[in-house]
Amino acid sequence: MEWIIRLWILMGIIILTCCCYWFLWVKKENGDRLKQKKKKKKKKKEEGKVPRGNKGWPLLGETLEFIACGYTSNPVSFMEKRKSLYGSVFKTSILGTGVIVSTDPEVNKVILQNHGNIFVPAYPKSVRELMGDYSILQMNGNMHRKIHSLLGGFLRSPQFKARITTDIQHSVKQCFATWTHQPIYVQDQVKKITFTILVKVLLSIGPGEDLDFLKREFEEFIKGLICLPLKFPGTRLHKSLKAKERMMKIVKRVIEERNNNIHKKKNSEEKGGAANDVVDVLLRDIGDSNTISNMLENICENIIEMMIPGEETLPTAMTMAVKFLSDSPLALSKLLLCSRSVPTDGEVSYNYHNIMPSGCHVTFLQINARCSAIPHLTSVSFQLPKL
């Protein structure tokens, strides 16, 4: 009987010891978790906070208000309103994607300098759909440097500059002739000039049915860059993709004809001479690739993509230049004084070939570029998460 009592006492001691160990372990774990939470809070406080803002409606976000503001006399009102509510850096949702918008010069400086490649370019889904998988926007590393070198070498060549300045002068004179006794909308007039010249630089297509068709379809295509990423019949994105398909037929026809001519000259050992346009430059770089059909498709898409500066970037930049000049009487007076010093008769002594490189300071292709942090960036008391 005594051994049973001793056994129960021993079991009680073991159970009590286990309970004590379990209690101490739980207490230690809770203490460690509490310490970790405090450390995280302290670290978060030191690093900064996620910017405030409003994501708007599901899927739509604040897209409708963002687009609507672009058609008003004060297109930056979307930014100004949220800046007053949430500060100079705020979060929102546009075109189906969460974004953080910065109106702070210090934050923008960090983003643009991009030391250590903290940021990578990112674009709305509608842009990625329209540009395709082999878009110049998606290129990076060696391929991007190669394309940049090829096109840069061609555009900087003296032969190209001599030819393009003559084309520009002719187009500008034609446009000026229609400016009598009517209001002038600078951006629309610049589009007429730049698109015509750009298509000639890219494809050597002059005035005619093909140019008119490309212009008409391109205007339909470009509307889809800023839209909701919905791709079913009747939507803006679907219409733009169909317009791109129609443009591709003409561009592909021109490229295939040019490629056949290049191969004929190679077979006859005839020298090809200098490249006439961007298509020539890209086709000569293909060489005898086994995947030439895929390469031709990529070139077609790249050519259409390169038309965008003629519709958006250059006209906007030149319109803003006119606007800023009109807002600065001193700069305008100096420019007019310089212009009036040019003789009106005889040959002009200015060498416009030397002025052209200044155009390189204007971004060649600018399509609603955004940046994506990898994976988090803390700067200027704000924590910018990867959205």
Percent of the chain with pLDDT over 90: 7
Tell how far CA 257 is from the center of its chain.
Answer: 31
pTM over 0.75? The answer is no
Span(s) in the chain for CATH 1.10.630.10: 139-341+350-361
Contact partners, residue 67, CB within 8 Å, separation at least 6 = 226
Is 383:49 a contact under the CB 8 Å cutoff? yes
Report the pLDDT value the prediction gives residue 249, as an integer from 0 to 100. Answer: 92
* Tens of each residue's pLDDT in the chain, 387 residues: 666 676 667 777 777 777 776 666 666 666 666 667 666 665 555 455 678 888 888 878 888 888 888 778 787 889 899 999 998 889 898 877 888 888 888 888 888 787 766 777 777 888 888 888 778 777 766 777 888 888 888 888 888 888 888 888 888 888 888 888 788 888 888 888 888 888 988 988 888 899 999 999 999 998 888 887 888 888 999 999 999 999 999 999 998 888 888 777 776 655 666 778 888 888 887 765 555 667 788 888 888 888 887 777 788 888 888 888 888 889 888 888 877 776 655 555 555 555 555 444 444 444 444 455 444 444 444 556 555
Question: Which residue reads 């329209």 in tokens?
Answer: 130
Is 313:195 a contact under the CB 8 Å cutoff? no
Report the pLDDT value the prediction gives residue 272, as an integer from 0 to 100. Answer: 60
- Tens of pLDDT along 197-217? 889 889 888 888 999 999 999
| Alpha-carbon torsion (181, 185, 188, 191), positive or negative | positive
Phi/psi of residue 288, nearest 5 degrees: -105, 50
CA distance 296 to 17: 79
Contact partners, residue 91, CB within 8 Å, separation at least 6 = 50, 51, 52, 53, 54, 55, 98, 99, 100, 101, 387
Of 271, 227, 238, 200, nearest to 126 (Cα)? 227
- Measured in Å, how far apart are the chain's first and last C-alpha atoms? 72
Q: What is the CATH number of domain 139-341+350-361?
A: 1.10.630.10
Tell me, what DSSP letter sits at residue 9? H
Report the pLDDT value the prediction gives residue 247, as an integer from 0 to 100. Answer: 93
CA distance 45 to 51: 13
Report the pLDDT value the prediction gives residue 332, as an integer from 0 to 100. Answer: 86
